[in-house]
Amino acid sequence: MFEKSTWIRLPRNVVVGHGVLDQTGEAISELHLSGAPLVVTSPTPREVAGERVKAELGSLGETPEMVVVEQASFDEIERVIDVARDLEPGYLVGVGGGKAIDIAKMAAADRNLGFISVPTAASHDGIVSGRGSVPDGGTRHSVAADPPLAVVADTEVLAEAPWRLTTAGCADIISNYTAVRDWKLANRLQNAQYSEYAGALSQMTAEMLVENADSLKRGLEESAWVVVKALVSSGVAMSIADSSRPASGAEHLFSHQLDRLAPGDALHGHQVGVGSVLTAYLQDGERGDWRNVRDALATIGAPTTADELGIDDETVLEALTTAHEIRDRYTILGDGINQDAAHEAATVTGVL
């Protein structure tokens, strides 16, 4: 008898476009939520969109509250949980980059409240995902949470954000190439569960972005549109898989390790982009397609070297040789690569 079952959790409303911040209230009213909103944001996103969202939410008839977070940490999540416990809001609205959104997402999951995602930067694919990522001691990777009930991505706001945030989002998508290959490898070698649909969607999303790489330009709202649609698609792939596997392989392990060794030095997307160049080389060798990954990143202006990341050579090599320890996820790194192999990969690809 066939006994498999699966739950695919997706947002109900994904609203993308020029000026859609003003439709936040409308997007939420369709969800039939009750109670007042609690806006969770960080300092710059608060100025860029947070206050505007708060004012807009006032139109729903309840008085919105706001909490401003400074950094992604469990202490900050606890603080937001405490605020939510005191104020008893009906739902949480995360306004900002990946960190503010992840904190709101995880606090909402803890309080069993609905969560709305309002990204102010097209910098990562957590804007739609059902996963939250916050450093926890020696580990650093996403854990299960609930996906947003609605996503409101205003392309006018996203296009005005610093261009490097958008190139980080592009790199997070391009890294899906190597993530899917690692996932297939884990399926063949370790019998890890693989979803054809999630794998195909994730890979196609990366391919479409690379095909459009030439047309992605700083200040062009159309570019923000292309990138955010790709980020949504990648988040949906993670929801279908109920795992970050479609979007996170060895290149993400490398980035998570850099977060531990050199916190705050570079953006998540930029780190995974460089990690993807290294991973593509390890997966396919010198004659493989690591150059295509590197060239796609270079075309959009994302870093392809340690120098461009602002991270020193030793740290890059340490991250690469210890990345396999970060979580129990089989990738091309296997049980780890040694210093010489890491040095060879990093020099052949020009990362060092």
Ligand X SMILES: O=C(CO)COP(=O)(O)O
Ligand Y SMILES: NC(=O)C1=CN([C@@H]2O[C@H](COP(=O)(O)OP(=O)(O)OC[C@H]3O[C@@H](n4cnc5c(N)ncnc54)[C@H](O)[C@@H]3O)[C@@H](O)[C@H]2O)C=CC1
The residues that touch ligand Y, with contacts defined as CB under 6 A, are 42, 44-45, 48, 72, 96-100, 102, 120-121, 123-126, 129, 131-133, 142, 157, 161-162, 165, 168, 267-269
CB of 168 or CB of 213, closer to ligand Y: 168
Which residue number places its CB atom closest to Zn ion? 172
Query: Which pair of tokens denotes residue 40?
Result: 């969770």
- Check: CB of residue 156 under 8 Å from CB of residue 145: no
Query: Which pair of tokens denotes residue 256?
Result: 């998570």
Helices (H), 131-175: 155-160, 163-174
> Could you say which of 52, 99, 141, 181 contacts ligand X (CB under 6 A)?
141
CB of 155 or CB of 239, closer to ligand X: 239
Residue 349's nearest CA partner among 260, 267, 283 is 283
Which range, of 63-71, 86-94, 190-198, 244-252, touches ligand X by CB under 6 A? 244-252
The length of the chain is 352
CB of 302 or CB of 345, closer to ligand Y: 302
Q: What's the min distance (Å) between Cβ of 202 and ligand X? A: 10
Query: Which pair of tokens denotes residue 296?
Result: 């796609």
Q: What's the min distance (Å) between Cβ of 4 and ligand Y? A: 25
Write the CB contacts of 59 (distance below 8 Å, at least 6 apart in sequence).
Answer: 25
Chain centre distance of CA 301: 19
In whole angstroms, give the CA distance from residue 150 to residue 160: 22
331 binds ligand X (CB under 6 A): no
Which of the listed partners (ligand Y, Zn ion, ligand X, none) does 44 bind, with a CB threshold of 5 to 8 Å by partner kind? ligand Y
Residues that bind ligand X (CB under 6 A): 125, 131, 133, 141-142, 172, 244, 247-248, 252
